[in-house]
Amino acid sequence: MEPPNITDFAVRGAQTLRAFSQRIPGAGGVIARSLHEAVSNRTVMITGASSGIGKSTALEIGKAQGTVLLVARSEDKLAEIKRQIEVLGGTGFVHRCDLSDPDDIDRMAAEALEQHGSVDILVNNAGKSIRRSVNRAYDRFHDYQRTMNLNYFAPVKLILDLLPVMRERGSGHIINVSTIGLQMNTPRFSAYLASKAALDAFARSIGPEIIDDGVHITTVYMPLVRTPMIAPTKIYDRFPTLSPEEGAEMICDAIRKRPKRVATALGNLGQLGYAIAPGAQDLVVNRAYKLFPEGGEKQQVEDATAEQRAFARATRGVHW
């Protein structure tokens, strides 16, 4: 009888540990797969894939030879990203969809399942943000409705369309891109944060129901990223931000490790601070509210004060 090959034994042992870790929430970070291993022979649907974080994530998955289902309204932009993915060695498919229309979501989801059989990983990245103090929103209830439609109802509708097949197959991963604002309770974003909080609560509620079907849910509390979504707020031109590639790295880490949550140290500190001393955190955040102007697309941006620069650096990634 030949002695066991030590190298093969070690490789098989590592693979077994990785597979086992994927069945335990949070354990995936101990022995994380490579991105190539995580997306190989799997379909990854990304909403909001035509620009920013969604585009950068799609390209990273393409580079890892994954199959990417690109979802957004702009078919021309998606076609160009599909071409770039294929140049990188991946496979891309365009699935145009107006995510504000539930019927169009149903159509797109049915189309994707018919063409690809299943969606293994769903990245709910598309979103809409509004930066406006509540005293300027008394007559703008429609802003809350529109934000909730895209940031909450759209991903929930898509999850409800794709989840049955995931559960039937005994495997699936849903990644919801949320915001550090939920952890820091940032002012001026009541419409945006409420919609993201609703999606967070939905995911936390269904998570225990579907975990034994092999379906995992990860929430990414994304810090401020320099994307077209923040471009109208001119004061962000002088804020330290993440690049779309850094935002994509957070999502790719979520794909590899399948944790319950991905967040920055500052976001976790803010969440802990509010749990321990919410009144004290309100005072700090109130200072930020007064320090940074209301802003607007046509606002002329003046040179930042020393206090503004210091505060922005100390809270890098928070969208004040």
In tens, the pLDDT along 170-210 reads 999 999 999 999 999 999 999 999 999 999 999 999 999 99
DSSP class per residue in 107-142 = HHHHHHHHHHS--SEEEE---------GGG-TT-HH
**Cβ neighbours for 312, distance < 8 A, ≥ 6 positions apart:** 238, 239, 240, 304, 320
d(CA 148, CA 235): 25
Which of 226, 208, 224 is closest to 216 using CA atoms?
A: 208
- The helices-and-strands tally (H runs, E runs) of the chain is 13, 7
Active site (catalytic) residues:
192
The angle at the Cα of 176, spanning 270 to 75, to the nearest 5 degrees, equals 130
Q: What are the phi and psi torsion angles at 36 (to 5°)?
A: -60, -45
- Spatial strand order of the sheet with 121-124 comes to 91-96, 67-72, 43-47, 121-124, 172-179, 215-222, 261-262
At 26 the pLDDT is 52
Task: Determine the straight-line distance between the first and last CA of the chain, rounded to whole angstroms.
Answer: 68
Confidence band (pLDDT; 50, 70, 90) for 257? very high
What would the two tokens of residue 115 be? 């063409």
Angle formed by the axes of helices 154-169 and 190-210, nearest 10° = 10
* Enclosing H/E stretch for 69: strand 67-72
Which of 216, 218, 234 is closest to 226 using CA atoms?
A: 234
Q: What mean pLDDT is predicted for residues 240-268?
A: 93
Q: What mean pLDDT is predicted for residues 44-70?
A: 97
More confident residue, 303 or 277: 277
Residues in the chain: 320
Task: Calculate what percentage of the chain has a pLDDT beyond 90.
Answer: 73
d(CA 95, CA 58): 13
Q: What mean pLDDT is predicted for residues 271-276?
A: 94
Q: Which of 30-34, 91-95, 282-286 has the highest mean pLDDT?
A: 91-95
- 47: which strand partners? 71
Number of Cα atoms under 13 Å in the Cβ half of residue 227: 27
At 305 the pLDDT is 80
Domains and CATH numbers, the chain: 29-314 (3.40.50.720)
Which of 62, 55, 98, 61 is closest to 77 using CA atoms?
A: 55
d(CA 306, CA 320): 16
Residues 222, 178 contacting (CB under 8 angstroms): yes
